[in-house]
Structure 1
Amino acid sequence: MRLIFVRHGDPDYQNDCLTDIGRTQAMNTAARLHDEKIKAIYASSNGRAIETASYTAKDHGLDVQVLDYMHEIWWGDKDQNIDESQKIPFEGHPWSISYKLLTEHPEYTGDKEWSEHPYFKNNICMDYFDRINSGIDELLAQYGLKREGNFYRCMEECSDTIALFAHGGSGAILFSHLLSISFPIVLTTLPFGVCSVTIFDFAAMKGEMTIPRLEIFNDMNHHNEHNLIFNM
């Protein structure tokens, strides 16, 4: 079983849709995925993700199935009345606080539980973790993969390829969960651009454990070939 993850194209955040550049990127991505034998296409409930997915869905003759739990995450102090001196730096922006946490407290690159640090423990972004992780596990279970610990057991062999169109934040949580890598490490070491293609492979025989592996990460060559200017 293979999971293709695509971040949405260049966004118009105010209107939650794609810009003209984003639409061209989405068309290029559909061309990139044309030869993939995709059996199902999923997208977050955000308009920019659904619009990006629609080009690939049309090319494959499929409908876009919406997964609300994959909508983009938000961040900030859970307690809006907290004293100014106690507020999370950078307004809780996960990418910025991850860099600050890991460079100032390198012990969090090891076994120390990053989610217990106030930067994250008191951050709205943590409200999304269980929802996304359980949602992804339920989706993979439909394709014969049952979560056990940090990995998956193949309950039924499945050779399907599915595609999921989502976001930088919800995607980073997904990467953290599938690869068993801490969220701050993902945010600081694995940036992925708009309309990039990442492919996870879950190869296993029935009854075996499978460790999700990256087949391709952050592939954006389909944009370079068309001389597009894109934003990370």
Structure 2
Amino acid sequence: MVPEQIRIHQDGFDYVIWDTYGETIRKHSELPGHTDWHRNAPFDEGALYENWLEFREKFDDFLAGYGYHREGGRYRVDKTSDDRIAIFCHNGSILFMIAHLLEIPLPLVFSGLYCWPCSLTDIYFDQRSEKWAVPRALHIADVSHMAVAGLKPQARGMGDRCDEYY
């Protein structure tokens, strides 16, 4: 069961907020910005923004444990590491992470990206100086490992609209 604060009611159906119709999000010539997206319908209702702020804080606390401390849209590097972090999560969670790390307005990530179940997303912390790192996406929603195994990804949350894609 999905909590009510991350649900949207559209066209007589209930959806999780990350399945909001792209046509709803992009219907205006001025797209939602990084700092004001939560002021526009349908994102101005419920506790989504508070959940977003809490997610950002906790995720940055997690990264701080690896020596990356967020300052603005970049991360101050306290200790360089070659560690790789694997996070196993739901489509909604990875979309939150992508929006946060890449500084893309959350509604545009919701309407422009879909992460298949079992897909891989690689975010590289590009460190061009000793002091700063900036997250860059190397792969988003890659399912090539499934194709190699002869498996077809299941478009959970997309209905049957993607069946012919694979």
The two structures have a TM-score, normalised by structure 1, of: 0.58
- Aligned partner (choices 43, 46, 57) of residue 120 of structure 1: 43
Matched, 1:75 2:10: no
Cα distance in 2, alignment partners of residues 112 and 135 from structure 1 = 19
Q: In the alignment, residue 108 of structure 1 is paired with which amino acid? A: L
- Aligned partner (choices 33, 47, 57) of residue 134 of structure 1: 57
Aligned-pair CA distance for 1:92: 5.7
1:118-141 Cα offsets, whole Å, 9 max, x none, are: 311213433421221111111111
Q: How does 1:100-119 map to 2 (within 5 A)?
A: 100-109=23-32, 113-119=36-42
Unaligned runs of 5+ in 1: 1-13, 15-70, 78-87
Q: Pick closer, same or farther for the CA change 1:112–1:74 going to 2, 3 Å.
A: closer
Q: In the alignment, residue 147 of structure 1 is paired with which amino acid? A: R
Q: Pick closer, same or farther for the CA change 1:222–1:92 going to 2, 3 Å.
A: closer
CA contact (8 A) 2:35 2:105 kept: no
Compute the RMSD of aligned alpha carbons: 2.7
Aligned-pair CA distance for 1:74: 5.7
Cα distance in 1, alignment partners of residues 93 and 134 from structure 2 = 21
**Secondary structure in structure 2 of the residue aligned to 1:218:** strand
Indicate the structure (1 or 2) with the bigger Cα radius of gyration: 1
Cα distance in 1, alignment partners of residues 21 and 77 from structure 2 = 34
Aligned-pair CA distance for 1:188: 1.6
What is residue 174 of structure 1 aligned with on the other side?
Answer: 97
- Aligned partner (choices 97, 101, 106) of residue 183 of structure 1: 106
1:168-213 Cα offsets, whole Å, 9 max, x none, are: 1121111100000011111121211111111111132674221101
Identity within the alignment, %:
26
Q: Pick closer, same or farther for the CA change 1:202–1:185 going to 2, 3 Å.
A: same
Q: Pick closer, same or farther for the CA change 1:162–1:103 going to 2, 3 Å.
A: closer
**Secondary structure in structure 1 of the residue aligned to 2:104:** coil
What is residue 200 of structure 1 aligned with on the other side?
Answer: 123
The two structures have a TM-score, normalised by structure 2, of: 0.78
Unaligned runs of 5+ in 2: 156-166
Q: Pick closer, same or farther for the CA change 1:97–1:190 going to 2, 3 Å.
A: closer
What is residue 209 of structure 1 aligned with on the other side?
Answer: 132
Q: Pick closer, same or farther for the CA change 1:112–1:148 going to 2, 3 Å.
A: closer
Identify which of structures 1 and 2 has the higher relative contact order when contacts are C-alpha pairs closer than 8 Å and 6+ apart.
1
Aligned residues: 153
Q: In the alignment, residue 208 of structure 1 is paired with which amino acid? A: K
What is residue 143 of structure 1 aligned with on the other side?
Answer: 66
CA contact (8 A) 1:199 1:214 kept: yes
Q: In the alignment, residue 120 of structure 1 is paired with which amino acid? A: F
What is residue 158 of structure 2 aligned with on the other side?
Answer: none
Cα distance in 2, alignment partners of residues 166 and 131 from structure 1 = 17
Aligned-pair CA distance for 1:100: 3.5
